[in-house]
Amino acid sequence: MNTLFSDRHYAKLSATTEAGISLASPTQTSSQRTYHYIGGNVKTKGYAAFDESGELRLWQFERRPVGDNDILIEIKYASICHSDIHQQKGDWGKQTYPQVPGHEIVGIVAAVGKQVTKFKVGDRAGIGCMVDSCLECDSCKTGLEQYCDTTLFTYGNPDNREPTTITQGGYSTHIVVRDHFAVHIPDNISLPEAAPLLCAGITTYSPLMKYKIKSGDKIGVVGIGGLGHLAVKIAIAKGAKVYAFTTTAEKEPEIRKLGVEEVIVVDDLRKLQPYKGKLDYMIATVPEQFAAAQYAATVKPFGYFTVVGMGKDFMLNISNIVMSYSQVNFNASLIGGIAETQEVLEFCSKTGVRPQIQLISAQQINQAWKDVIAKKARFRYVIDIATI
Ligand SMILES: [Zn+2]
Ligand SMILES: [Zn+2]
């Protein structure tokens, strides 16, 4: 018997229930026996941070019941974003613990609320960095839910509906989410490969599409990790010539295999000199302080330079004088909206762009976090949630 829900919440193999919630039948989800769910909190297991140490431990907790507009997802995979580490370590401000990180989440829909039409039980679904917003303001109405004043991000945001009082992320067995904030996974993308597209993919795709890449454009990518390697692949899929800038010499062979024009190992900022004013556009994914203005100066005057990586305290120091001489337009971007997140999945489905992933067990999460900090990931760790 499935032990993930308390007994009082089962109604074995009934049809859609009084509460309007249905669960997968045994034929709809793999080998697990499943039962129709009739309400109440959802018992969940996950890996949580308990303090700022950066060490995660197994934790049992409950999620809110599946509401009329919610879906319950049985999580299959969740990938590791550097943001998970920054937030749990308190780099972005004081946190409430225990807190389960993870905002690149994929799984199978196991229950739907009675108002839900977007998903049905058995569908493959993904969740990225957001789980709710007002859906009524100008940002929400124009597909920019991430800029809504009331956006709930996937973990660590106060949410009184949740028994733990905050949103809890995807390093866990189940998640309850408003249907609008889940996206469909195209059939030809495997679930583990879909996970990194939900933050790393959309975060790089969104500004790259706004730039409107033309075939042959020279695009610079700074920082070739989870986000950067996807920026490289997306830009190449659009016909660009990509210049990959990294500070990690050991990554060079792997980066070359991505099909870039050049790999520039920037162990000294003087290595940027030959590229001054040469590139059409540049995106920087570095999740820490870096010499942004010096990199931006590789872009042609009045070209664009976009920052998507976020370091400690969300601060980035920029040399004003270097920026002035480069005459480059500097901007920043935060993930992307829900419709655009669906769009990046369709784009990857059509173009064959897939993240390069390393599958790990839940027991390897703590080591994987250390490896991400040490820049050893090639390029995204994906947790097999079945191992929790
Ligand atoms: Zn992320
Ligand atoms: Zn809104």
153 CA to middle of ligand 2, Å? 13
Residues 183 and 204 in one domain: no
Domain identity same for 218 and 241: yes
Closest ligand relative to 226 C-alpha: 1
Residue 43 within any structural domain of the chain: yes
Q: Is 11 in the same domain as 159?
A: yes
Are residue 74 and residue 187 in the same domain, yes or no? yes
The reported pLDDT for the residue numbered 38 is: 56
Q: Same domain for 192 and 208?
A: no
Model confidence at 120: pLDDT above 70: yes
> Average pLDDT in the 167-171 region?
98
Residues 190 and 209 grouped into a single domain: no
- 123-140 confidence digits (pLDDT tens): 999 999 999 999 999 999
Q: Give residue-wise pLDDT tens across range 57-114.
A: 999 999 999 999 999 999 999 999 999 999 999 999 999 999 999 999 999 999 999 9
Centre of ligand 1 to C-alpha 348, Å, is 18
Domain end position, chosen among 315, 332, 349:
332
Residue 216 in domain:
yes
Pair 66, 163 in one domain: yes
> pLDDT at position 307, please?
97
Residue 248 shares a structural domain with residue 118? no
146 and 268 belong to one structural domain: no
pLDDT band (50, 70, 90) for residue 329: very high
The CATH number of whichever domain residue 273 belongs to comes to 3.40.50.720
* Ligand 1 center to 6 CA (angstroms): 32
Q: Is the pLDDT of residue 8 over 70?
A: no
Q: Which domain holds residue 316?
A: 200-332
pLDDT digits (tens, 9 = 90+) for 214-249: 999 999 999 999 999 999 999 999 999 999 999 999
SS (H, E, C) the chain: CCCCCCHHHEECCCCCCCCCCEECCCCCCCCCCCCEECCCCEEEEEEEECCCCCCEEEEEEEECCCCCCEEEEEEEEEECCHHHHHHHCCCCCCCCCCECCCCCEEEEEEEECCCCCCCCCCCEEEECCEEECCCCCHHHHCCCHHHCCCCEECCCCECCCCCCCECCCCCECEEEEEHHHEEECCCCCCHHHHHHHHCHHHHHHHHHHHHCCCCCCEEEEECCCHHHHHHHHHHHHCCCEEEEEECCHHHHHHHHCCCCCEEEECCCHHHHHHHCCCEEEEEECCCCCCCHHHHHCCEEEEEEEEECCCCHHHCCCCCHHHHHHHCCEEEECCCCCHHHHHHHHHHHHHHCCCCCEEEECHHHHHHHHHHHHCCCCCCEEEEEHHHC
Encode pLDDT of 296-328 as tens digits: 999 999 999 999 999 889 999 999 999 999 999
pLDDT at residue 52 is higher than 90: yes
The pLDDT score that the predictor gives to residue 39 is 77
Q: Which ligand is nearest to the CA of 132?
A: 2
CATH number at residue 91: 3.90.180.10
171 and 58 in a common domain: yes
Split into its structural domains, the chain has a count of 2
- Please tell me whether residues 262 and 296 are part of one structural domain: yes
Is 342 contained in some domain?
no
Residue 147 lies in a domain: yes
Are residues 218 and 320 located together in one domain of the fold? yes
